[in-house]
């Protein structure tokens, strides 16, 4: 009986002068081919001084960026192609070189992508096509590649405009056209869009804190690879990604069933109209908290804390609860802080004491936020308010945990364990919270009955 032989992992050489840009390209490759070997090359630290260059020797495909002019592109291609059995070369050029695309193909580029306006899907499609062409030629010699630099479906770019740092930016994003702006701030721009080919609705998010030429891009890449690996389990699904101008972006599924904020507001407004008590039904609140605990357990499995847990970032996909917005998600043991301004990041109304004090965090910080959300679901209001963010954060750190109304007082011990000021006294993990909630969800649960019947 013959043993199954696994094919060797793909080898890629990513050549660009920007460490952040190389990291983003590498993350796109490794989400598609997790076992691939990616060699990141800084052309300014290595040598392109002749035929003896050693990087990319065993590569299946070379991605060549850092090209500013047509002359630079031709010179770099000439040096690479002088090597024996040079693999296919994807040239990453600025869109300003679009008129020279055909000449660059004639000069030896296997394919062209715009380095400041391309999608991960086009990158992967291009590589797969080149690998098939190489395989068809049995890897005996460099294949004769198509003179068509860009597929017709990759030439459609939507335009997305916004203001950041007092400047108007208009970005070209491949495959999608603008529909509306969902939110805009200094951290991120979020749009609804539709795919040009089939008009399916998506959400596009551009995190403005991680331009590709900075070290922050590596933090984006780390989060991207982990969240993409979850394949939509309790997190929003990533449909695509790419680079637009100076920023990486992600294309997310459109979640039409709404968020938790909408559910809380609808119940609160309806109760106020009828003169009834505010807050979601306790059983429903417990069910949502249980789903949230499962989602957090999934997310925490990668040693990431969400750090911005609030009703606006908790959506629904049918009966499934889905987490969104990982812009400030942070590794356990690190601090959610803006490296430029030093400000603590997050939403003050839902922020754990340790996060508010700028201390290192772990999954228990998200559990504190879950406790605040649970309190709001039960009462229709937030436990701490104030005239400023600093005032609210101070209350999270120093004020007593507020008491629930008598009608749901039976659930106070759960609030106390989630919102303990000292994380050591808090529920230890999302998995433990999930287990703790099971007795509350039984049909014969005394706690649920008490929560419903206490006047």
Same domain flag for 171 and 205: yes
**Could you tell me which residues come within 8 angstroms of residue 161 by beta carbon, excluding any fewer than 6 positions away?**
168, 169, 170, 171, 178
Same domain flag for 106 and 165: no
CB 111 within 8 A of CB 121: no
Same domain flag for 214 and 136: no
Q: Which two tokens stand for residue 455?
A: 């006047």
Tell me the pTM: 0.86
Q: Which of 112-126, 191-205, 263-277 has the lowest mean pLDDT?
A: 263-277
Q: What does the DSSP assignment read for 138-194?
A: TTSS-----S--S-GGGS-EEEEEEEETTEEEEEEEETEEEEEEEEE-SSEEEEEEE
Same domain flag for 353 and 388: yes
Q: Which two tokens stand for residue 320?
A: 């499934």
What gap in Å lies between CA 280 and CA 276, rounded to an integer?
11
Is the predicted pLDDT of residue 277 greater than 80, yes or no?
A: no
pLDDT of residue 412: 97
Neighbouring C-beta atoms of residue 101, cutoff 10 Å: 19
Q: Is residue 341 part of a domain?
A: yes
Q: Is residue 199 part of a domain?
A: yes
Neighbouring C-beta atoms of residue 229, cutoff 10 Å: 13
CA distances from 28 to 67, 207, 225, 286, 325 (A): 20, 16, 8, 38, 19
CB 311 within 8 A of CB 376: yes
Same domain flag for 208 and 72: no
pLDDT of residue 57: 66
- 439-449 pLDDT, tens per residue? 988 754 555 54
CB 221 within 8 A of CB 31: no
- 59-118 pLDDT, tens per residue? 899 999 888 788 988 988 888 888 778 899 999 998 888 889 999 999 999 999 999 999
CB 334 within 8 A of CB 307: no
Which letter, b or e, does each residue of 419-451 get, where b requires 16 or more Cβ atoms within 10 Å of its Cβ? Answer: bbbebeebbebbbebbeebeebeeeeeebbeeb
Q: What is the CATH number of the domain that holds 177?
A: 3.30.200.20
Nearest to 377 by CA among 245, 283, 239: 283
Which letter, b or e, does each residue of 34-65 get, where b requires 16 or more Cβ atoms within 10 Å of its Cβ? Answer: eeebbbbbebeeeeeeeeebebbeebbbbbbb
pLDDT of residue 4: 58
Same domain flag for 178 and 244: yes
Q: Which of 53-67, 117-131, 430-444 has the lowest mean pLDDT?
A: 53-67
Q: Which band of pLDDT confidence, cut at 50, 70 and 90, is reported for residue 213?
A: confident
pLDDT of residue 140: 43
Same domain flag for 168 and 140: no
Same domain flag for 127 and 225: no
Q: Is residue 2 part of a domain?
A: no
Domain enclosing residue 20, as ranges: 11-149
Mean pLDDT of 46-54: 48
Same domain flag for 405 and 273: yes
Same domain flag for 285 and 356: yes
What percent of the chain is modeled with pLDDT above 70?
Answer: 85
Q: Which of 121, 149, 177 is the last residue of a domain?
A: 149
What gap in Å lies between CA 371 and CA 414, rounded to an integer?
8
Q: Which of 253, 281, 298 is the last residue of a domain?
A: 253
């Amino acid at each position: 009986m013959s043993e199954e032989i696994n094919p060797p992992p793909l080898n890629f050489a990513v050549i660009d002068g920007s460490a952040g840009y190389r990291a983003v390209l590498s993350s796109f490759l490794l989400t598609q081919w997790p076992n691939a070997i990616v060699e990141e090359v800084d052309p300014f630290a290595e040598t392109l001084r002749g035929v003896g260059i050693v990087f990319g020797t065993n590569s299946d495909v070379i991605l060549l960026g850092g090209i500013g002019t047509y002359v630079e592109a031709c010179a770099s291609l000439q040096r690479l192609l002088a090597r024996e059995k040079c693999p296919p070369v994807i040239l990453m050029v600025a869109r300003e070189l679009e008129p020279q695309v055909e000449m660059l193909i004639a000069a030896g580029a296997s394919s062209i992508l715009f380095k400041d306006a391309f999608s991960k899907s086009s990158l992967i499609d291009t590589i797969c096509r080149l690998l098939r062409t190489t395989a068809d030629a049995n890897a005996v010699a460099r294949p004769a590649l198509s003179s068509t630099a860009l597929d017709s479906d990759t030439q459609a770019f939507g335009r997305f405009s916004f203001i950041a740092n007092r400047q108007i930016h208009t970005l070209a994003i491949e495959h999608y056209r603008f529909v509306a702006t969902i939110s805009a701030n200094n951290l991120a721009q979020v749009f609804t869009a539709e795919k040009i080919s089939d008009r399916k609705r998506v959400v596009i998010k551009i995190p403005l804190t991680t331009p590709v030429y900075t070290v922050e891009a590596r933090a984006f890449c780390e989060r991207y690879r982990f969240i993409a690996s979850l394949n939509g389990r309790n997190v929003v699904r990533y449909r695509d990604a790419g680079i637009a101008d100076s920023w990486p972006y992600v294309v997310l599924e459109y979640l039409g069933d709404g968020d938790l904020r909408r559910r809380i507001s609808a119940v609160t407004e309806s109760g106020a109209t009828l003169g009834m008590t505010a807050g979601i039904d306790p059983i429903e609140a417990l069910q949502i908290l249980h789903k949230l605990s499962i989602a957090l357990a999934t997310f925490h499995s990668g040693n990431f804390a969400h750090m911005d847990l609030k009703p606006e970032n908790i959506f629904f996909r049918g009966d499934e609860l889905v987490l969104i917005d990982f812009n400030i998600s942070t590794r356990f043991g690190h601090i959610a802080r803006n490296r430029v301004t030093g400000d603590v990041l997050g939403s003050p109304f839902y922020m754990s004491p340790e996060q508010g004090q700028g201390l290192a965090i772990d999954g228990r910080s998200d559990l504190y936020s879950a406790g605040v959300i649970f309190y709001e679901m039960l009462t229709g209001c937030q436990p701490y308010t104030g005239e400023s963010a600093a005032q609210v954060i101070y209350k999270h750190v120093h004020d007593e945990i507020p008491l629930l109304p008598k009608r749901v007082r039976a659930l106070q011990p759960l609030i106390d364990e989630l919102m303990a000021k000292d994380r050591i006294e808090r529920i230890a993990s999302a998995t433990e919270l999930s287990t703790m909630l099971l007795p509350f969800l039984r049909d014969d649960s005394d706690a649920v009955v008490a929560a419903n019947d206490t006047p």
